[in-house]
Chains A and B, each alone.
Chain A
Amino acid sequence: MVLVGWTVGCAGVDTPPTIEASAGGAAYWPPNSATAIDGAIETGLDAIELDVSLTRDGVPVIVDGPWITPDRCTFATGQPLDPEGFEVRWATAAYLASFVRCGGIPDPAFDGALVVAEPPLTLDALVARLVDAPSIARVHLDIRYAPGLTAEPDRFAAAVLDGWTAVDLSQSLTVSSAYPEVLTAFDAYGRSIGRDVPTWLAVPQIPYGADPAGVLAAAEAEATVGGLDLVSLADAAGADGVIVRWDVADRRSIAAGRAAGLEVAIGEVDDLRALRWWARPGEADTVITAWPGEVE
């Protein structure tokens, strides 16, 4: 008991992490949807994480990834999309609003989540909702940039930051990406408009189309021999923090990152037992989960 107490005492400052609602709280509401934002506001969540992609006409939309996929979205008529879906960069915002509905297909990962078909939410619509949402202190936008599949990072940075700063919001903004060039672009554009935008690097980088299990295994092997150094990766990207996948996160590298002044977030903790583990005080600065309401 003494040994355990000592170990815990050495683990870090025992402050509870900020709990971010992944995709607005995907376990309760359709992910990245207006319903999710409204639900998060009504239930008084502190922080939300949303995914951002960019349309052909440069409008930021709250969509998870470069594709509109048939497992989440349909045509507005209810007709299913083609099996491959389509790339967001080929659609205009008006097209998405008129012809696409997402959230109307149940997500097997979250049986109890509300199923509501809605047009993809734009950043402007998100910002408008946040004006009257004092309970939400932080909005975290994960930029779904993918080389060759989406707009370039500087277009993302200009569109997102212009949209965010168009209204005077009380919420702080944090931007994340697995790609350092995205964070660099947001840093540069933020400075050009007089805004300091905190950026987080998502680790490990899982390219679209890659086998996540293989990437995670490689990351685990690299971390075991000390080759995956969060501080060095964040420094190289100019990031203020890192998001580490919960299933490959380890306390030693997290402690090293926090000791170096990085904000360390644990990503996509959608397993409730894992959530209870990572949400303990002192483990991390932020925990991103679809189940924010399950944390005491």
Chain B
Amino acid sequence: MIAAWWVALAGAAEVHLDRVDLLSELPGTWLHDEAPKLPFAPGVAAVRFATQITPVVSIGAAEVGLSVAAQSVGVRAALDPDHRWWLTTSVVTRAFLPLGGAVGVSVRPGPVRIGVSAVAIAGATWIRPTWTRWTVWPTIGIGIGRDPGPRAPWSEGRRYSGEETAAGRTAKEPNE
């Protein structure tokens, strides 16, 4: 059912690599838990950094993040007409076992994305799939990818921005 929904969604919307989160908000524990260990456990900290790097694919208003440490499926909405500020909600999984959810705000002043989220995750595993105890923590994410703003050459907003176009003329509203 969900798969069919995703196939339909993917068919209806453009699918593209939106960004790569170098510091992922999901699960978002690296900065606080692992970065301080770099001086005395660099190997483990580096491995855990690598496993949290997350390519994020967008499918219309939906986005899917896949890393070794966590996977997520969410929806996002622009909070401003310039597509600089975004609101995102996600379901978080580990080894594709749903663990919890996240809600966050991000800003994308260009190809860089900076986000903050509140993540609620249960300690469930495939071996012990229980969702009785939850932990909530704040996370920060930094990613690099497409510029979603109106100046971006691939942005739909480009036609309506009133800015100079690639052809060198001032864009008009389509109905003018």
- Give residues in A with beta carbon < 8 Å to B: 3-4, 6-7, 10, 220, 224-227, 229, 231-232, 246-248, 250-253, 255-256, 259-260, 271, 273-274, 277
Which residues of A have CB within 8 Å of B47? 220
Q: Main SS of the interface on chain B?
A: mixed
Which residues of chain B from 124 to 156 have any CB-CB distance to chain A below 8 Å in the complex? 125-128, 133, 135-138, 140
Which residues of B have CB within 8 Å of A271? 40-41
In the complex where A225-B95, A247-B44, A252-B29 touch, is A231 in contact with B128 (Cβ < 8 A)? yes
Which residues of chain B from 4 to 62 have any CB-CB distance to chain A below 8 Å in the complex? 27, 29, 32-34, 36-37, 39-41, 43-44, 47-48, 51
The one of B43, B44, B51, B94 that contacts A226, using a Cβ cutoff of 8 Å: B94
Q: Main SS of the interface on chain A?
A: helix
Q: Which 3 A-B pairs have the closest CB atoms?
A: A256-B123, A273-B40, A226-B125
In the complex where A6-B138, A220-B47 touch, is A274 in contact with B127 (Cβ < 8 A)? no
Q: How many A-B contacts if CB must be within 8 Å?
A: 74
The one of A227, A252, A259 that contacts B27, using a Cβ cutoff of 8 Å: A252
Which residues of A have CB within 8 Å of B97? 226
Cβ of A175 to closest chain B Cβ, rounded Å: 24
A275 closest partner in B (C-beta): B40
Alpha-carbon distance between A229 and B37 when the two chains are bound, in angstroms: 22
Cβ of B69 under 8 Å from chain A: yes
- Is B126's CB under 8 angstroms from A226's CB? yes
- Is B138's CB under 8 angstroms from A7's CB? yes
B39 closest partner in A (C-beta): A273
Which residues of A have CB within 8 Å of B69? 224
Given contacts A225-B94, A247-B44, A277-B36, 10 further A-B contacts (CB under 8 A): A3-B116, A220-B47, A226-B126, A227-B95, A232-B127, A246-B41, A251-B33, A252-B121, A259-B123, A273-B39
